[in-house]
Chains A and B, each alone.
Chain A
Amino acid sequence: MSIRARLLVLVLVTAVLVVVAAVVTLRAADRAAERDQARPGEPGAQTGVVTLRQPKRLLFRNLAWGPQRDHVSSVPLATPAGPRTSAPRNCLRFHAAAGTGICLRATGGVVPGHEAVLLDARLRPVRTFPVPGMPTRARVSPSGRLVAWTVFVSGDSYAGSAFSTRTAVYDSRTGSLRPDLEKFAVIKDGRRHRAADHNFWGVTFAADDNRFYATLATRGRTYLVEGDLGRRTLRTLRENVECPSLSPDGTRVAFKKRVPGASASTPWRLYVLDLRTGRETALAERRSVDDQALWLNGRTLLYALPGDFGADLWSVPADGGGTPRMAVKSGTSPAVLP
């Protein structure tokens, strides 16, 4: 082929590729706009007043298409499938308790960044913290004093995996921020344990605003750790525990763990661990759950499973009986206002 013929082919094919790229991008932009249109069959949401002081309500990130998509929304605990009231507050991850909220969100712009925003009872920003990666978990302590969040960090990893998390704890009373749990001393089997590959995520707080539980991953294994904020220590309690969630009475921890024989793509099942007896109870949910469950009350757990529009919230009894039921369609990151 002559150089001229080759250039001609190049120009023609490049033109086709450019057109394809442009059309696909424009269509995706249109579709993004479509998401602002409510869809038939999906729960409707109305803009309204949402506060953290309204009793007996369930708050969550609304995933139903429409102008309220991604907004913090509220439904009565008694009728979670009913119409939603949404606040103009965008969050990727959200949690709240006792008048304090935490919202992890994208900062927008061409190069995406993320931040953690502490919210007051009327969901107004109180303080903003830049975070070094993508949000994954967020929790507020039962008293509303402590806040924790976990993000993925890209960049600082070594030897075969770019996987790294950063978990921060903020004390809203003293205003002190502990930006990285990795600075805490890890006690494993009674001895100080050091490793460069410690990763923590999924904090859940006890009622005393000092103790907490979280996941520690090191060398491909996960552990339940019990943390002490005052002493800056983390003690491993049990292996193969991820995303713990402490029950309201502080006696049990719901968590997900890898079960033998499960397929590699769906490795996790929900369990409840009795902290006093060490007994594990398998829950009736047979699907793989990749979420930090939340106690709806002392008897029921709430967790997200992939759904048509991102995720749906399901509930299952915490005693191993019953059957899973869908609680909220197109929603994730729940918080209970009792």
Chain B
Amino acid sequence: MYLSASRAADTTAGVRRTRPRPPRGTRTRRAVAGNVIALGAVSLVTDVSAEMVTAVLPLYLVVGLGMSPLAFGALDGLYQGASALSRLAGGHVADRAQRRKLVAGAGYAVSAGCKLALLAATTPWAVGAVLATDRTGKGLRTAPRDALISLSCLPEEQGRAFGVHRAMDTAGALLGPLAAFAVLWAARDGYDAVFVVSFCAAALGVLLLVLFVREPSSTITARRKGADKNGDKNADKNRDKDTDKKRHRPGALRSLARTSGLPRLCLIAALLGVVTVSDSFLYLLLQRRLDLPAPYFPLLPVGAAAGFLLLAVPLGHLADRIGRRQVFLAGHGALLIAYVLLLTPWGGGLAAAGAVLVLLGAFYAATDGVLMAAAGPLLPTDLRASGLALVQTAQALARFAGSLLFGAGWMYFGPEGALTVAAAGLAVALAAVAALSTLRPHLHRHRHLHRRSPS
């Protein structure tokens, strides 16, 4: 249950977790899908591990170590921002060395080690340092892992691949707290046992990565290039870039800026990100609207996560079929409906609350992995990790700015006023983005034809 809180914290801190990745296939259809499933399994057990710790950490710090409110708050602020920078660094290093698996593996290993380090950390600041390191490992692995998923599947199957990954990842996040509380139930005050079990899960994640995840091979790359033959200008460009794999560009950022469609995608993600209200605010509003008894509060994020889990694959698949941008926009449309529901006086309180949670789950399912699926095919192979990191960071920073603005709005206009402003902003941003897309509709429409190359 507490997973929700941590996820909310991620969102609010602008470090939206990047989780998903999915499958795709070509000729090597099974093998490639295997890579995505393997990455999904890695994320699943890693998330079990991470959420075990997240779930018991407040208990451990306050009840176990006797920390007071302010120390607890300061600690939380300390590690919030830690992953944003390391994510860009992880993407960059992975691209530079063309060793995505190695960099992702290093990130997973760092986080696994931190679970053991927690055993030795007994002061608030030591715990804070361990958590910051853990976040750094998380940041490091995110972009290369996303790049691995993206490179393991065909452009037209990215949405489903990311959907599968995200669903597996969320399943792990839902299981983690249950595992943690099961350990505490068996062993009263056994926080050290929770940390060790969490380490075991994390180690299993690293092992799965080492054994079953493959760096997309040059043959696949070659095949992809072949497949791209009937592709568009973009693919041509990408191909050019692929050829100079080894010549490492000091101007990676410049190359990304010139990658067709990428700046626009970043702009869209950022524009919509600014008007996205962090879910913790929405839960709070929902709780106030419903006058929900406080002990049930943690169930709200669980409900949204369950919606995310169930919808990630179908919506990812839908995105492949009808277009990722459309689904991405529709996801924000679902969010807008949720805002409106929260602002409308309603009769059937619980039904409306359920609708808000489902809409929130649909919003994540239609945007989280779909954004990566939209960005991946735009990017040349050798810049995929850094490109994905860039898109994620643009969105995360925008959401962080949005959270600050919403907080200020809450202060001046009250919760309903702030949400009204946010809803209006979201409607305007959606209209603007839709207009932008209509102006250049060819850019990201999905073709299904050319991927059926014989092999």
Contact = CB atoms under 8 A, between A and B. Distances in A.
B70 A130 contact: no
Interface string A195-233: 111010100000000000001010000100000000000
B238 interface: no
A229 B63 CA distance: 30
B77 to A, nearest CB: 5
B76 A162 contact: yes
A interface majority secondary structure = mixed
Interface stretch (B223-231, B260-268, B291-299, B326-334): B291-299
Size class of the contact patch on chain B? 35 or more
A157 interface: yes
B190 interface: yes
B346 interface: no
Nearest to A264: B125
Given A136-B62, A155-B8, A28 B192 contact: yes
Contacts of A136: 62, 68-69
Contact of B407 (A196, A222, A264): A196
Contact of B62 (A1, A134, A310, A332): A134
Contact of A24 (B2, B63, B197, B284): B197
B80 A160 contact: yes
Contacts, number: 196
A7 B278 CA distance: 42
B185 A162 contact: no
A163 B77 CA distance: 9
Given A110-B185, A217-B69, A161 B301 contact: no
A158 B403 contact: yes
Contacts of A132: 294-295, 297
B287 A160 contact: no
B283 A158 contact: no
A262 interface: no
A152 B72 CA distance: 9
Interface string B38-78: 00000000000000000000110011011111111110110
Contacts of B301: 155
A276 interface: no
Contacts of A299: none
Contacts of A217: 69-70, 73
B197 A25 contact: yes
Contact of B208 (A10, A162, A194, A291): A10
A242 interface: yes
B58 A152 contact: yes
Interface string A162-202: 11011000000000000100000000000000111101010
A335 interface: no
B255 interface: no
Contacts of B395: none
B280 A156 contact: yes
B66 A10 contact: no
A6 B38 CA distance: 13
Contacts of A197: 407
B207 interface: yes
A290 B71 contact: yes
Interface stretch (A12-20, A44-52, A94-102, A119-127): A12-20
Given A28-B190, A134-B58, A264-B125, A156 B287 contact: yes
B187 A25 contact: yes
B181 A111 contact: yes
Nearest to A256: B68
A149 B216 CA distance: 57
Given A25-B193, A156-B283, A311-B66, A194 B407 contact: no
Contact of B63 (A1, A29, A134): A134
B200 interface: yes
Interface of A: 1, 6, 9-10, 13-14, 17-18, 20-21, 24-29, 31-32, 35, 92, 106, 109-113, 130-136, 150, 152-163, 165-166, 179, 194-197, 199, 201, 215, 217, 222, 242-243, 264-265, 290-291, 304, 306, 310-311, 332
19 contacts: A6-B212, A13-B203, A13-B207, A29-B186, A35-B188, A35-B189, A110-B178, A110-B185, A113-B295, A131-B295, A132-B297, A154-B298, A157-B12, A158-B403, A160-B80, A161-B76, A162-B76, A222-B70, A242-B68
Given A27-B193, A111-B177, A112-B59, 10 more contacts: A13-B203, A17-B204, A25-B187, A32-B187, A134-B58, A160-B12, A160-B400, A161-B9, A194-B412, A242-B70
